[in-house]
Structure 1
Amino acid sequence: MFDLFYPFDWLSTQIVTKLFGLSVESPLGGSLHFFFYDVPKVLTLLVVISFVVGTLQSFLEAEKVRIYLEGKRKLSGNILAAMLGAITPFCSCSAVPLFIGFIKAGIPLGITFSYLISAPMVDAVAVFLLLALFGLKVTLFYIIFGVTLAVIAGYVIGNLKLEKWVESFIWELKKQSTDIDELDIIEDETMTWEDRLKIGYFQSSEILKSVWLYVVIGIGIGAAIHGYLPTEFISQWIGKDNPFAVLFAVLFGVPLYSNIAGVLPIASALFAKGMPIGTVLSFTMAVTALSFPQMIILRKVLKPKLLGIFIGLTTLGIICVGYLFNAILV
């Protein structure tokens, strides 16, 4: 079978063996080979995937998402919100304006949270990167459980009636019209493929500029794990024989910050070292769904009690998902 990334593998081997004079079997050589192979591979995937996704997502704007969710109630609204979160490109930096826009439009709090959980954790770029690194089966389970987690957590928050713990200035904002301006609709309908390709190029370049450093750092950590972290350590602390492995992985991942492109190389290295796939993916979910900057941003609109409930419910859900992954994906 043709290996699309063979040139990167060959070049990495040449750098390690010819330039540095090391064996790829040695700890340092193995780490350097991992690094020089994964950096161009992941960045290439990131650029190509974000270009394709950005082009296709030009058909779905933030305002349209708000319109789709407006008026939805109960479980159906949570399901729709989680599914829309999985296909839209809005990240943690969009959390506050989206939250305000959704609440002003009358979208229930629980449905809003289903979207906010799903959007950073199960976005299209994450899906394609997971597919390239872990294969179709793992990717499908990640999508299913990620969306399910967003639906359940949002539904629970909605039924707890926690609107009183949203910052008061949100409710004081004057409700704006929810109608899309007719001119905007006309402009969207007449957008050419050239325009959409430009949007795809812009999104691809912006994503690359904003995340390349996290990718390199993540791959650097993954390379160190690949070359130097003893397999015995993985087996003892976060291996399949430790019943608390998923709990440790999630609690370690919650306070960290990385985007999905930066954390997946680390996850790939941990998996290669023997960490069970459920533990790996629960760690990935914890880092992406509960990133520290996003919590700081959300604190602007959520009182500490509601933010704490959001973090607690999502953390508990990710832990449960991790154990389910380990039970199913053996």
Structure 2
Amino acid sequence: MQQRSPEGINTVKWLAAVALGLAVWIALYSQLQNLADYGMSLTGIAADTHLGQALNFFVFETPKVLMLLALIVFAMGVIQTFVAPERTRQLLSGRRLGIGNVMAASLGIVTPFCSCSAVPLFIGFLQAGVPLGVTFSFLISAPMVNEVALGLLFGLFGWKIALLYLGLGLAVAIVAGLVIGKLGMEKHLEDWVQAIQAKGGAVIANLDRKQTWPERFEAGIRHLKEIVGKVWPYIVLGVAVGAGIHGYVPQNFMAGIMGKGAWWSVPAAVLIGVPMYSNAAGIIPVVQALLGKGAALGTVLAFMMSVTALSFPEMIILRKVLKPRLIATFVGVVSAGILFVGYVFNAVL
């Protein structure tokens, strides 16, 4: 009987450990809401109060986002061992008509991440050598235009609204990425990101031999420790801000200033949406409620875009990755695109 080699035994151990870890992750993730509800019941705070809503949001969203981040970062670390930076750069950047931005924005459609969960992929793309403007196209598209948002919009408002949202949302992501890319602002990445970008690119580019699975999993663990270890305090702070807004900002107040008549309603809706935090699936029920209270569709969708693509918690997390000038440029370019979308919707509907 042929015995397994030490390398084969090590591979089996790693595969078993990863499978067990994934099973535990799925079991915990599926019970987060129940655990949050149980934790709230121990506090004695009524769930329908402002404080109760804010606490429930924080207790549920904090582990949810951290768990998603851990899974995504680990997977990205493993995936990066298969693809050299030059190949990734060629795949996403392109040399004609911003094809890299189009591909990155399109990739964002099929990745239903909230803005905070998309940040690790943003860092992973930079580390793999993908141009800054292309990574921004993904960062904007991933939370703002995805299959969850499109499916809900189609079910609530029909295919024309869903298709218009898809087209305009992709346009914002592509054009914003192109503009940021043309500005050449790579020097405004934080120093530690530039360091791992250079380090990671060099390491992966020199992998001439085929790596073993244990080596790939070890790379994923290193990636997990390096990225999540730096970002997690910002995530906790960001979700805390979002929880406060979620619990204490009344919907009636927002609906009252989101009418179609005033020219300032669209920028006001964007400003209100920025401090909030939610993914597309979470914010669309709010959109439906606001529309039921008389808010204009374009204004509400601009609000939705600002929540998913320009949330203040996301800015807090991105501050660990980007310097203030690049964050300001990102916010300005994307805000202009969202305002355009809001005014177009209000004009044609």
Short-chain TM bin: 0.5 to 0.7
- The residue that corresponds to 1:300 in the other structure is 320
Separation in 2, partners of 1:85, 1:274: 31
Asked whether the equivalents of residues 122 and 138 of structure 2 are also in contact (C-alpha less than 8 Å), the reply is no
- The residue that corresponds to 2:194 in the other structure is 171
Give the count of matched residue pairs: 234
Equivalences for 1:146-225 in 2 at 5 Å?
Answer: 146-173=169-196, 174=199, 175=201, 176-177=203-204, 225=251
Asked whether the equivalents of residues 301 and 342 of structure 2 are also in contact (C-alpha less than 8 Å), the reply is yes
- The residue that corresponds to 1:104 in the other structure is 127
The answer to whether structure 1 residue 269 and structure 2 residue 269 are counterparts is no
- The residue that corresponds to 1:73 in the other structure is 94
- The residue that corresponds to 1:242 in the other structure is 262
Cα RMSD after superposing both structures: 3.4
Deviations, residues 287-308 of structure 1 (Å, cap 9, x unaligned): 0111222211111110011011
2:341 to 307, 311, 321: 321
- The residue that corresponds to 1:14 in the other structure is none
User: Could you say if the C-alpha distance between residues 250 and 163 of structure 1 is closer, same or farther in structure 2, counting changes exceeding 3 Å?
Assistant: same
Task: In structure 2, list runs of 5 or more residues that go unmatched.
Answer: 1-74, 214-238
Separation in 2, partners of 1:262, 1:297: 20
Separation in 2, partners of 1:321, 1:141: 9
Question: How far apart are 1:181 and its partner, in Å?
Answer: 6.2
299-308 or 85-94, which deviates more: 85-94
Question: How far apart are 1:104 and its partner, in Å?
Answer: 2.1
- The residue that corresponds to 1:137 in the other structure is 160
User: Could you say if the C-alpha distance between residues 62 and 146 of structure 1 is closer, same or farther in structure 2, counting changes exceeding 3 Å?
Assistant: farther
2:141 to 101, 118, 124: 118
Q: Which amino acid aligns with 1:271?
A: L
Identity over aligned residues, as a percent? 50
Separation in 1, partners of 2:84, 2:342: 31
Deviations, residues 143-189 of structure 1 (Å, cap 9, x unaligned): 111111000000000000001101122222212326896877xxxxx
Deviations, residues 24-58 of structure 1 (Å, cap 9, x unaligned): xxxxxxxxxxxxxxxxxxxxxxxxxxxxxxxxxx9
User: Could you say if the C-alpha distance between residues 230 and 89 of structure 1 is closer, same or farther in structure 2, counting changes exceeding 3 Å?
Assistant: closer
Separation in 2, partners of 1:278, 1:269: 14
Question: How far apart are 1:322 and its partner, in Å?
Answer: 0.4
- The residue that corresponds to 1:278 in the other structure is 298
User: Could you say if the C-alpha distance between residues 66 and 146 of structure 1 is closer, same or farther in structure 2, counting changes exceeding 3 Å?
Assistant: farther
User: Could you say if the C-alpha distance between residues 145 and 62 of structure 1 is closer, same or farther in structure 2, counting changes exceeding 3 Å?
Assistant: farther
Task: State the secondary structure of the residue aligned to 1:117.
Answer: helix
Separation in 2, partners of 1:282, 1:65: 37
TM-score (norm: length of structure 2): 0.59
- The residue that corresponds to 2:112 in the other structure is 89
Task: State the secondary structure of the residue aligned to 1:177.
Answer: helix
Task: State the secondary structure of the residue aligned to 2:298.
Answer: helix
